Amino acid sequence: MSAQMQKAEQAIDDLHGMVDGKMTTQAQIEQLHDTLESHAINSRGTKDVFGRLFNLPVDDEHKAKVFGCGVIMKGAQQPHLRAFWTATFGFFSCFFSVFAPAALVPYLKRSVAEGGIALTRSQGADAGSAAVASTIIMRMLCGPMCDAFGARKTFVLLLLLACPGIIGLIFIQSGEQLIFCRLVIGLGLAAFVTCQVWCSQMFNKKVVGIANATAGGWGNLGGGVTQLVMPQVMLGMLGATNNNVNLSWRLCFIVPLAFHIVSAACILSGRDLPDGNYKQLEKAGAKQKVKGSVVAKIGLSNVNAWILFLTYGLCFGIELTMNNKVVPYFNRYYALNPQMSGILGSCFGLMNLFARSWGGLLSDAMNARYGMRGRLWGMWIVQTLEGVMCICMGLVTINMPNPDDFTTKVPGVWDYTNIYRETTTYTFNSSTAMVPRCGSKQIATPTDGWLNYGTADIASAKVPLADAFMMIRDPDNTCIHGQNTLGLTMIVMILFSLCVQAAEGLHFGIVPYVSRPALGVVSGMVGAGGNFGGVMGSKYIVNAFIPLDNGFINLGIVIIVGSLTMFGLYFPEHGGMLFKKGGLGSYDPQLIKPPAGMVGADQLNYANVKTGTATKTATA
């Protein structure tokens, strides 16, 4: 039995002993309830409006008051944990599908004869931008939809909207078709908004930072997992299709399609709010009906929302940019094969496993110690460090020759280590094995398992090969792949990623405070800002026309300068980074005020509940 459970049982025994001995006081009872609730036990026996007992302790609005590893590992119980886990899996599925094509770019770049679609570098960049551009508009639209119809239904809609694009990837024949399919799939990435709104409606503000950060972070994890998994799925498909490259990468997209279908079914099984679904609660008289146009007007007229729109683009937008760039970076600059590039590139997204949660935890801790001003300062400091690390990543290789510096080609080399662990270098002179200056290339081996291209120094050399493909590179060791900087690049990249994910968690520790009546709209605006940043980063900053390391340096400078706008955030009831509560007099960032009596979509009036109606409409 765990120490936590022993403490909880001891507290229950103490409570019973006090009651039996008639020694209780209200203060003692409340203290024992607090102890039990800290162990995720609903000792007060609070029920929803339909008489169903909550599994977790809740506040006056029936939002869960606790969150942590011990809490979420209890399972997917209704309603709070079901919402958390299904929202996390749903967002994970969207992230996985959006960046699955990026993980297979080395195969798509091959000529049609070699099993690809002859994808150009420019088309690849445009496809990456399209994948996050379509989400900008959809995130703006799904914010009001969350307020009007509920995050749960909006979530399912987004998952299903992306499915035609995933199916289309199986049949594409050109780079233009890839761009269109990724544009459609990108609609699903708006699920971030529904994920954050749903969790904000399920968890108390004292823990909403860590709850939102964990759900968003583990969802973002899909961007790293897809870089790790899809190249391995490709290897499995190659084995199943007898090395048919063209068929294999197409079949790989069945995996993200299955994720979308399963996650949509899981999300449908949840509840819109802790007490039930929107229609049930409106029928029971507990929930106020709202007009989407009014909610949108309130959210769009909040100055804080627009500042966060910009600054979230400088963290989540950076993650989107790196998810599109990091695998090609290792493949082109370090001459690594698609599988190894995927493994190393996935490390950037895999930091979401804990880094975004750290940001949420830091936000909640700073709030407990310094209030809202602490949340704001923590966000700015971490995001500025993010910019510094981005610059450092570019500086590692900035003075080294790279494939983007040249237009010429040279004969490629391949290092073969035999059973005696001695390395033999083969230099090929056939046109198949020509590579860009300081670049690399993956070539197919003959079906008989032997290579006989001829060499510059050994005529008609035969080389035994175990793999179906091999990487060859420029033999010039002054190039990046010959400078032994891969380890340093990985260290800096991971530190960079930690700051990116933590900054994201810090942002959504603040979003629930911006406008309660327009929570969905504000979440949509901020989320859209993330995608806007992704488009700007992928298309215009780390673009296809400059070396990647130069792009990283430019990106870091933009992050540092753009994050200074955080000093403009101000909450009349809390203050801002430079001003205490009331420090700006009558200034209110909410330019259009909500109508009198208007409340948020998750604010219920339990006094208006119609008991008979509630009983009839109750569901599991």
Partnered with residue 455 across adjacent β-strands are 428
Three-state SS string across 431-447, please?
A: HHHEEECCCEEEEECCC
* Contacts for 91 with CB less than 8 Å, ≥ 6 apart: 191, 192, 195, 215, 216, 219, 220, 222
Predicted confidence at residue 455, as pLDDT, reads: 46
Residue 282: predicted pLDDT: 87
User: Which amino acid is located at 388 in the chain?
Assistant: V
Contact 377, 226 (CB under 8 A): no
Domain ranges, ordered by start, for the chain: 3-72, 80-400+486-543+562-576, 403-482
Q: Is 53 helix (H, G, I), strand (E, B) or coil?
A: strand
Q: Could you tell me which residues come within 8 angstroms of residue 45 by beta carbon, excluding any fewer than 6 positions away?
A: 53
CA distance 213 to 415: 45
How far is residue 434's CA from residue 437's CA, in Å, rounded to a whole number?
9
pLDDT reported for residue 15: 56
DSSP reduced 3-state for 473? strand
Which residues in 208-239 are b (16+ Cβ under 10 Å) and which e?
A: bbbbbbbbbbbbbbbbbbbbbbbbebbbebbe
Separation of alpha carbons 7 and 62, rounded Å: 25
What's the pLDDT score for residue 338? 83
Q: Which residues contact 437 (CB under 8 A, 6 or more apart)?
A: 401, 403, 405, 406, 407, 408, 409, 410, 474, 476
Please tell me the CATH code under which domain 80-400+486-543+562-576 is placed. 1.20.1250.20
Q: Does a cis peptide bond (omega within 30 degrees of 0) precede residue 274?
A: no
Query: Are 222 and 521 contacting, i.e. CB atoms less than 8 angstroms apart?
Result: no
The predicted pLDDT at position 447 comes to 54
154 touches 145 (CB < 8 A)? yes
Q: What angle do CA 580, 382, 590 make, to 5 degrees?
A: 40
> How far apart are alpha carbons 367 and 387 in whole angstroms?
24
Below-50 pLDDT ranges, the chain? 1, 21-23, 449, 454-461, 612-620
**Residue 212 pLDDT:** 87
Q: Give the separation between CA 517 and CA 593, rounded to whole angstroms.
A: 10
- In sequence order, what are the residues at sequence separation of 6 or more whose Cβ sits closer than 8 angstroms to the Cβ of residue 18? 24, 28, 29, 32
Tell me the one-letter amino acid at 296.
Answer: A
Closest CA relative to residue 440, chosen from 103, 106, 102, 100: 106
* CA dihedral of residues 38, 41, 43, 46 (deg, nearest 10): 110
Strands 450-451 and 575-576: unpaired
| Two tokens, residue 531 | 């995608």
Based on its alpha-carbon atoms, the radius of gyration of the chain, rounded to whole angstroms, reads: 27
**In which residue are the tokens 């975004």 written?**
356
| Among candidate residues 146, 419, 173, 433, the one with its CA nearest the CA of residue 296 | 146
DSSP 203-229: B-TTTHHHHHHHHHHHHHHHHHHHHHH
Please write the tens of the pLDDT for every residue from 148-202: 889 999 999 999 999 999 999 999 999 999 999 999 999 998 998 999 899 999 9
**DSSP type of residue 51:** S
CA gap 253, 381 in Å, rounded: 40
Predicted confidence at residue 458, as pLDDT, reads 39
Output the pLDDT for position 558. Answer: 97
Question: What integer pLDDT is reported at residue 17 of this predicted model?
Answer: 58
**E-strand stretches of 28-138:** none
DSSP 3-state of 284 = helix
Would you say the C-alpha torsion 173, 175, 176, 182 has a positive or negative sign? positive
423 within 8 A of 575, measured Cβ to Cβ: no
Are the C-beta atoms of 563 and 387 separated by less than 8 Å? Answer: yes
Q: For the chain, how many residues are written?
A: 620
- Token pair recorded at residue 612: 């008979």
Structure tokens at 133: 């551009």
> Can you give 584-619 as a three-state secondary structure string?
CCCCCCECCCCCCCCCCCCCECHHHCCHHHHHHHCC
Closest C-alpha to 55, from 37, 30, 69: 37
């602490």: which residue's tokens?
374
